Amino acid sequence: MASPKVISCPERIQPQLLTMASRPPAGDNWLYEIKFDGYRLMVRIDQGHVTLFTKNGYDWTKRMPKLAKELLALPVRSAWLDGEVIVQDEDGRPLFSALQSAFSSGKTDALCFFAFDLLFENGRDLRSLPIEKRRSRLSTLLTQVELEHVRLSETLDVDPRDLLYNICALSMEGIVCKRSGSRYASERNGSWVKVKCSPRQEFIIVGYTLAVGGIGSLLIGLHNDDGQLVYAGRVRSGFDGRTLKLLREKLAALEQTESPLRVVPKPSKGLIVVWVAAQLVCEVKYTEITPTGKARHAVFLGLREDKPASEINLETDAHDEP
């Protein structure tokens, strides 16, 4: 029997994308994982060098030097790992606000990387293998050496409805459902499904209202199906002193006289709006998107430095079977 063909380590691999759904998919041919509240991270290891890529391909290796050094201890010549980088609280729950603070301050030594897929290993492309076999190889790799900040994202053999209920009770983000037997595809094909506890996604900051001491609220927008930037409402809560200070610094450099929106909303009486270039992305939790396209009861969760504003549009539920 011929040995598997040995090939060079790919320079780039695009991540598999997730389909959003309002409930877990039906059937028993799914694997279930916790959805970590962090940044997607793709790890490339080749000939003694490691590179850490964000979901959109930004090289953040220098921003996480301790994690990069740990990953080099894995016993492989070459590899590609897919996972999520997070900050955990004392009970092990991911804290997105703390993750943002870690990157803003440059204090990233406490970041943890939870690996959930192995795409390439020692000259062999594993993406065509069923997910169960890729995960088995990943588990074997991670158990060969003990690393403080690198861990396996476990699959949970439970009823997904019970899992989702308990995850939401713990104030975590949600669950991910992955189709058994599926190959790794660098696209959104319905094999990976995310179910969130409450609606949340990325929005583009297009302006802010003035208040005593600085920022009163953020004006946010999204790209519609035609690629036009449209108004999506105001965010009035979720800010602490440190967050407001960071936002003032970043938004001050982006201020402009003209609105970046094609259709400019009329501000409420008494509000003074400062427009900014549509470059900053923030994560927002909300109760619903109204028929007019506004996010209701929006709460600021943090900035998203790992995602470009040009790719931010409204995520929609896949109510039918993916």
Q: Return d(Cα 96, Cα 299) in angstroms, integer.
A: 13
Active site residue 245: no
Query: What element of type H or E holds 244?
Result: helix 241-252
CB 52 within 8 A of CB 59: yes
Q: Return d(Cα 49, Cα 71) in angstroms, integer.
A: 10
DSSP code, position 61? G
Other Cβ atoms less than 10 A from the Cβ of 191: the count is 22
* Tokens coding 158: 């439970």
CB 73 within 8 A of CB 48: no
Active-site option among 35, 178, 285, 307: 35
Q: Return d(Cα 76, Cα 137) in angstroms, integer.
A: 12
Q: Which residues are catalytic?
A: 35
